[in-house]
Amino acid sequence: MQFPRGRQQAPTYQRGRKQLAAALKKSPQSVDVLARFDRYAPELWDGLAGVYDVEILWPAVMDVLARAINARPPTLVERDRSRQLQPDWFQLPQTVGYVAYTDHFAGDLNGIATKIDYLNELGITYLHLMPLLRPRTGENDGGYAVADYKSVRPDLGTIDDLESLATSLHANGIALTLDLVLNHVAEQHEWAVKARNGEEKYRNYFLMYPDRIVPDQYEATLPEVFPDLAPGNFTWDEPSQRWVWTTFHSWQWDLNWANPDVFCEFVDILTFLGNKGVDCFRLDAIAFLWKRVGTNSQNQPEVHALVQGLRAAMRIAAPSVIFKAEAIVAPSDLVAYLGTGEHAGKVSDLAYHNSLMVQAWSTLATGDGRLMAQALQGFAPIPTTTAWATYLRCHDDIGWAIDDMDAAAIGVSGYDHRQYVSGYYGGELIDSPARGAHFQVNPLTGDRRTSGSAASLAGIESAIESNDAQALELAMSRLMCGYSMIFGFGGLPLLYMGDEIALLNDQRYLHNPAQVGDNRWMHRPHMPWDVVAQRDSRATVAGQVFARMSALISARKSLASLHAATASVVFATDNPAVVAFRRRHPAGDLVELYNVSAQSQTVPTHSAWPFNGALVSEAITGTTVDLTEPTITLAPYAVWWLTAQPA
């Protein structure tokens, strides 16, 4: 048996093991579970000790775990075993993600099951269904204001439907991801209702203050997430006569994670949903969990201790379950979500690569790859057991997280560059083909974020409008250039619903009172299945993009070098308009060249080292490329994924 080193608490720790063993006495799983306890309980202990009085909390956590383990269905126990034999399943080149709203994609949960063939056709093996737990009624931030974590939004189905969908997805080789909103709950959640009614236990679940003294201390250094929609970080709640911490909207009450009861509640929720077949939890707004006066109350060290605790608890109770961190933070803060220092390899398995996404759009606007190379080279290596979740678009706006130092290193001003790209995509520049809109313009900081669908941002909407075939061809290539970076960087690529058929901005939200104030709904379209039905036709934009996306996905799956345990080296070539990713792998190296401009570009052949001087294969088109001349020329937005020719 292992004990945490250098601590006096061994008896408590050991009693936890006995407590678990006793609770599992009759379970056929008990040998496995105790082995997992020995492996992960030290991480759980250390995580908890970083935040709470672990001596007191330990038995309560063991109790929640024991109940969850006893309730775990046998099919999921089997899944746990097979995942333990293939712990890198989410790092494989064959893993490809898809992100969709249940209702917009297929009506309801039962409808999703009828679309599995479509997902299989695309090669999808990981499905993130956007928030579907019961939210508050009315405005609910796209489901991120949860009123009940153990029931499903009634129009989408029931918890039983969720469970049977998970079973069908698993049978078809698709893992299921759901959001876990753990920074806040809806003000209609039972905990908030009880707090509002004065129950002391539940008041301690939230951050509630009788006057402005403490809120003002925090507010002095807090940014605003939604300066337009929901200014400030505290809301006066009349019934309780308290200022309540509300980082996002006034009806999303931040939880008090300093309270160990909140931790136990979430272990209970995680195991409940994990036992319904959820494979991966997207940890929503995870950066905000811990508050500290004098800081921006994001990325605090305690966040990582808490996630380590939650993950270790899940490794004991439901080891096939993984975490994906949604931390849309500065590049320098991001790697910590996959684990650095004492938390390396012990926190989230996946984290969104927000910086790659921003850099992809930025290069496509400027036609210059140098800033991307500079920014991505600055990233510390990630633990080899983890992976980036790579994406070009998601349901949120694009926040232009471009570091001033990175910009300065290539001789531009960070502020000016952010103004340029937000102007380019936000519909402000006359010569820009992009059709997006500003989101949350902050006059104080000059910050402005961008809404818009990938296809509209890439210029497809404006090209169709102006009936310009050449512009349309360029725009489709621009879109595919961005998506190729996402599929070729290494990590788990996420295809956002509708991008495979180039769906344009959807203005329907303007007629929906619960959505009209939030233009992120313009890039949350509904799946037009009549258009999808025509996907084999090359006569349509949808058909052409679908074919190109399918080829990209097949190429990705064929390349062992795209396993996430290998990192990409990103560099600028001698021509600023051509950026290169290089991946070394014993099964065959991969060199990716991207022309990020709208003109043909020439680079010296040594940019494709180690393949210069040879005939090589291009993996996406399956053609042969001649690298025996001193220079090579790439068409506008061309992408070449180069590998040695098969012997």
Q: Which residues bind ligand GLC (CB under 6 A)?
A: 141-142, 144, 181, 248, 284-285, 326, 395-396
Is the preceding peptide bond at 74 cis, omega within 30 degrees of 0?
no
Rounded (10°) CA dihedral 137, 310, 357, 620: -110
Q: Which is nearer to ligand GLC, 451 or 605 (CB)?
A: 451
Question: Strand runs (DSSP E) across 230-275, as ranges?
Answer: 234-237, 242-245, 252-254
Contact status, residue 488 vs residue 481, Cβ threshold 8 Å: no
Question: Minimum distance from CB of 516 to ligand GLC (Å)?
Answer: 16
Q: Which is nearer to ligand GLC, 80 or 326 (CB)?
A: 326
Question: Minimum distance from CB of 406 to ligand GLC (Å)?
Answer: 23
Contact status, residue 228 vs residue 274, Cβ threshold 8 Å: no
HSE-up of 609 (CA within 13 Å, CB side)?
A: 7
Strands 492-496, 387-391: pairing is parallel
Q: Which is nearer to ligand GLC, 45 or 101 (CB)?
A: 101
Question: Minimum distance from CB of 228 to ligand GLC (Å)?
Answer: 13
What is the H or E stretch that residue 495 is in?
A: strand 492-496
Active site residue 55: no
CA distance linking residue 555 with residue 419, whole number of Å:
36
Question: Minimum distance from CB of 207 to ligand GLC (Å)?
Answer: 16
Other CB atoms within 10 A of residue 516 CB: 12
Q: Which is nearer to ligand GLC, 328 or 360 (CB)?
A: 328
Active site residue 326: yes
Which residue, among 142, 176, 140, 182, has the nearest Cα to 269 in the 3D structure?
182
Q: Which is nearer to ligand GLC, 266 or 637 (CB)?
A: 266
Q: Which is nearer to ligand GLC, 205 or 594 (CB)?
A: 205
Phi-psi region of 60 (alpha: psi -120 to 50; beta: other; left: phi over 0): alpha
Q: Which residue is nearest to ligand GLC (CB)?
A: 144
| Torsion 154-111-487-322 (CA) sign | positive
Q: Which is nearer to ligand GLC, 251 or 594 (CB)?
A: 251
Strands 242-245, 208-209: pairing is antiparallel
CA distance linking residue 56 with residue 338, whole number of Å:
28
Those residues with Cβ within 8 angstroms of residue 310's Cβ, 6 or more apart along the chain or in another chain:
47, 263, 266, 267, 270, 323
Which residue, among 313, 263, 386, has the nearest Cα to 33 in the 3D structure?
313
Write down the catalytic residue from 326, 397, 461, 518.
326
What is the H or E stretch that residue 165 is in?
A: helix 159-171
Which residue, among 93, 132, 82, has the nearest Cα to 109 in the 3D structure?
132
Q: Which is nearer to ligand GLC, 163 or 396 (CB)?
A: 396
Decide: residue 623, CB within 10 A, 0-12 exposed, 13-18 middle, 19+ buried: exposed
> Is 232 in a helix, a strand, or coil?
coil
> Is 152 in a helix, a strand, or coil?
strand
Q: Which is nearer to ligand GLC, 175 or 329 (CB)?
A: 329
CA distance linking residue 131 with residue 128, whole number of Å:
9
Other CB atoms within 10 A of residue 294 CB: 9
Those residues with Cβ within 8 angstroms of residue 480's Cβ, 6 or more apart along the chain or in another chain:
545, 548, 549, 552, 637, 639
List b or e across 159-183, with b for residues whose CB sees 16 or more CB atoms inside 10 angstroms: bebbbbbbbbbbeeebbbbbbbbbb
CA distance linking residue 231 with residue 224, whole number of Å:
6
Rounded (10°) CA dihedral 557, 559, 560, 562: -80
Write down the catalytic residue from 237, 284, 518, 592.
284
Which residues are known catalytic residues? 284, 326
